[in-house]
Structure 1
Amino acid sequence: MGRGLDDTLVLPTHPLAVVGYLRSLHWSEQQWQTWERRLRGAAFELGLNLTEIIASRDVSSLTDGCPRINQILDIIRLGQAHGVLTLADYSFAWDREIVRRTVARIRQAGGFVEYVYGRAPLLL
């Protein structure tokens, strides 16, 4: 069965821009640097353009949501990034409802979320 013109896959001519997101209350400076390198390596492996990494040492809550999420949403809405690259869903919060709401807000803004935890590490 042949493909119609509307079914043709069109790949972007340049890497998709993403913003990285890390959150922890307890990491040492060395751990922050390790995980930042992990995000950079994953972006490289995936062919993504990591424009910046937003880091938070704040607590997520049902009242306030995910720390710094509004900054991420602004970046996506302004077209400066197409999605978020982060370690795992718990980077947003340990509470599953906060994760669900955060990912939904990113998708509503037109972005996507990609998790890198579990990928073979390439530390740049």
Structure 2
Amino acid sequence: MSKMDDFRLDLIAATENAGWQQPVGATEPSNQVGVEYWRDQVERVKDLSERELDVFLMLGAGKSNRAMAQQLSIAERTVKAHVTQILSKLEVESRLQAGLVSYAFQLSPEGAACRDRGRPLVQSTSA
């Protein structure tokens, strides 16, 4: 089994154990340590500012800095600063990891609350 397969199973298990929606084709977790890791990352989302949360949710949708800047009517440099803050607050090393945490967050009950407030989520169509 590859590291990506392990990651996928850990992410599925973390969302499932928290009572979140289960993705299609989900299987059993392979590593309980990974489950705790992702749960901790999602818990840190509450530390983000409102604007950082907007950028964070767009990361989960795979948006570029330029697309985020245009949609939020801010400078691309400001988006980069928000991404840097997000990485620090979530204690992740890359934009990809932050995007994956965003995706997991959006499957959570807290993510559903963001959807109800009209925040941009992974279903966003523009990139």
TM-score, normalisation: structure 2 = 0.28
Considering fraction of residues, name the structure with more helix. 2
Greater strand fraction, Structure 1 or Structure 2:
1
Which has more radius of gyration?
Answer: 1
